[in-house]
Structure 1
Amino acid sequence: MFRIEAEVDKERRDLLRSRLRDTNTAASPVLAALRGTPAAREVPLHVWALDEYGDLAGGLVGHTWATWLHVTYLWVDERHRGAGLGSRLLARAERTARDKRDCRAARLETWDFQAPHFYRRHGYEVAGVIPDYPPGITEYTLTKRLT
């Protein structure tokens, strides 16, 4: 007999994630080879830009794992857009991932109304497209070689 629950439970989420990671690692020779190395750990990578008053002007939140940088969020305050801040944040994250964490590639997701053209200008290529996610919007997955 199973009991199905629908609640937020951080401890169970972390346990499930750990068990899934172990299962995936056992099934993948590449992931198994990384076990015990720094690349095997998911490590946060954050880059922040503060204005002259110390307020958040922009930032990038992501992580590195298995020789990849995954950009989760990149945002620049409207007052600072068009001045190259987003480019500098992205370049700093890529440089850190490549030079300090031995990452060979980067990936991210963006919607059609956000920044697919921005990322293409920075060398990213479309790896996947999901139309109508959410309805009326197209989501893009983009990747870039960092080496």
Structure 2
Amino acid sequence: MFRIEAEVDKARHDLLRSRLRDTNTAASPFIAALRRSPTTREVPLHLWALNDSGDLAGGLVGHTWATWLHVTHLWVDDPHRGTGLGSRLLTRAERIAHRDRDCTAARLETWDFQAPGFYRRHDYRVVCAIPDYPPGITEYTMIKPLP
């Protein structure tokens, strides 16, 4: 018999993640090799754009892992949209991932009301569309090979 609990528990979360990682490592020689190599571990990649006053004007948060850049957040404050700042942040992250971390591709998720057109202009293509996630919205997963 099992008891199922619904609660946020960081210690259990970390244990579950560790056990899942061990299971995945045992099943995949590639993942096992990645875990042994210090250059292919998940490494954060954060970029911050500050205005003349030192306030946050935009930023990109992501990480690199397994020869991939994963952009999780890219945001530009309203007064700076359309100035090329988002493009500069994305291009810089791709350059760091490729040149400094040997990444060969990038991925991200965006909603239909956010920036799929922006990413298409930067040569990303949709590989997955999830309609109604959340209801009334389509989420896209997009990828791009890095030169």
TM-score (norm 1): 0.95
Aligned partners of 1:114, 1:52: CA distance in 2, in Å?
27
How far 1:88 moved relative to its partner? 0.4
What 5-or-longer segments of structure 2 have no aligned partner?
A: none
After TM superposition, the structure 1 stretch with the greater mean CA deviation from structure 2, 92-101 or 78-87, is 92-101
2:126 corresponds in structure 1 to 126
Matched, 1:95 2:95: yes
Matched residue pairs, number? Answer: 147
Query: Which residue identity is paired with 1:61?
Result: V
What 5-or-longer segments of structure 1 have no aligned partner?
A: none
After TM superposition, the structure 1 stretch with the greater mean CA deviation from structure 2, 10-19 or 83-92, is 10-19
1:79 corresponds in structure 2 to 79
Structure 1 ranges of 4+ moved more than 3 A: none
Aligned partners of 1:43, 1:9: CA distance in 2, in Å?
24
2:21 corresponds in structure 1 to 21
RMSD: 1.1
**SS in structure 1 of the partner of residue 36 of structure 2:** coil
Aligned partners of 2:119, 2:96: CA distance in 1, in Å?
18
Residue pairs, 1:130-141, within 5 angstroms = 130-141=130-141
Aligned partners of 2:119, 2:38: CA distance in 1, in Å?
27
Query: Which residue identity is paired with 2:78?
Result: E
- Identity, in percent, stands at 78
TM-score (norm 2): 0.95
Aligned partners of 1:64, 1:2: CA distance in 2, in Å?
38
